Amino acid sequence: MDIFVHILSSRGMFTSAIILAAGSGRRMGFDKMTARLCGKAVILYSIERFVESNADEIIIAASEDNTDKIRELVSENINTDKPIKIITGGATRFESAVKAVRQTSCECDVVSVHDGARPFVTAKTADKVALEAFRHGAALAAVRAKDTVKICDDGVVTATPDRSGLWLAQTPQAARKADYLAAAEKLDRKGNAVPQGAWGRIVARVQKQYTAAQALEYEALVYTGRSSAAETLYLPGYAHTRLAETPLAGEEQTEWLPLRLGRLALPACICRVTTWEQQTQPVRLTDTAAVALAVRTCRAQLLRDFPDAEIEAEQRETTTENGTAAAAVTYIFTADIARTR
């Protein structure tokens, strides 16, 4: 994967790392970014990791109070050829992120937003998140939930979610720059940018299992190859129908045929209804064919629920017993999970 990231970067993926450091520190009672951790300012850990990563530039959104201090820390401790820009952030984390994204290079493909108060990010994680965002539109770092989570209503526990499907969001969180700006801001009638609360599109990596069964023997409608046709001639104020000589039961196909005399179109047409005969016949499938149909049904269920799913991997469990083939397929895929099902 590291080789693939390097090759993709050399082919033109431009990543802008954004480090958010504009918090007021009210909850902690002091500025977390410039606080010392093992003898080093907290924010320096994140900056160093993004310097090591494949990010092409780094933009730090600082508060008015710590802009000069962070600029001094970078000047004294960071030695890199990568462009590092320090800007004044906004009143909220969202506003700071949008301001920083708007300051990225015009070459930028992916913006990777990181919380400067999280010093333990690795360059490998940053590169992986940026790559997945480039491939799928958006991605984020996350860790599996280890605690048991309870859903409560007025102090009463109503549910306990399955912990195996719970993930805790971390940073960096990355997206294609064009998608980020399109989702974050819209222009009003005067051309002024208006921040948006939510885009309504959530791209996620999902693991889900589907099951299906297929009988080895069943009855189905089968085409016999026979057909019959009935035709109706339509003229202005007149219609005449010629019924099929041998009426058949099956699937009907309707055609409208214009009447012509040479190149001259006449004010008339023929409606031809062709019936293709179908009869119920027993069908016997091999075990292999029945399993294949069950697996196909599983995939159809997946695409019905997630039409934009991009399958990364699948694991199949199949059995054939008592005249039925059963399939349980576990898919790992990415999709827009906010889309209405």
Q: What is the pLDDT of residues 109-161, one digit of tens each?
A: 999 999 999 999 999 999 999 999 998 888 999 998 899 999 998 889 998 98
Q: Which pLDDT belongs to residue 86?
A: 95
Are 11 and 107 in contact by the 8 Å Cβ rule? The answer is: no
Helical ranges in 155-267 per DSSP H: 177-184
Q: Which amino acid is at 275?
A: T
Are 336 and 203 in contact by the 8 Å Cβ rule? The answer is: yes
Q: Which pLDDT belongs to residue 3?
A: 45
At 43-81, the pLDDT tens digits run: 999 999 999 999 999 999 999 889 999 999 999 999 999
d(CA 312, CA 136) in angstroms, rounded, equals 12
Count CB atoms within 10 A of the CB of residue 93: 15
Give the chain's residues under pLDDT 50. 1-11, 340-341
The token pair at 161 is 């979610």
Element at 123 (helix H, strand E) = helix 123-136
Q: Which pLDDT belongs to residue 50?
A: 96
d(CA 138, CA 111) in angstroms, rounded, equals 10
d(CA 181, CA 298) in angstroms, rounded, equals 37
The token pair at 293 is 């149909």
Q: Which pLDDT belongs to residue 164?
A: 78
| Of residues 208, 134, 116, 147, the one with CA closest to residue 174 | 134
Q: Which pLDDT belongs to residue 203?
A: 65
d(CA 43, CA 66) in angstroms, rounded, equals 11
d(CA 131, CA 285) in angstroms, rounded, equals 44
d(CA 309, CA 202) in angstroms, rounded, equals 12
**3-class SS of residue 26:** coil
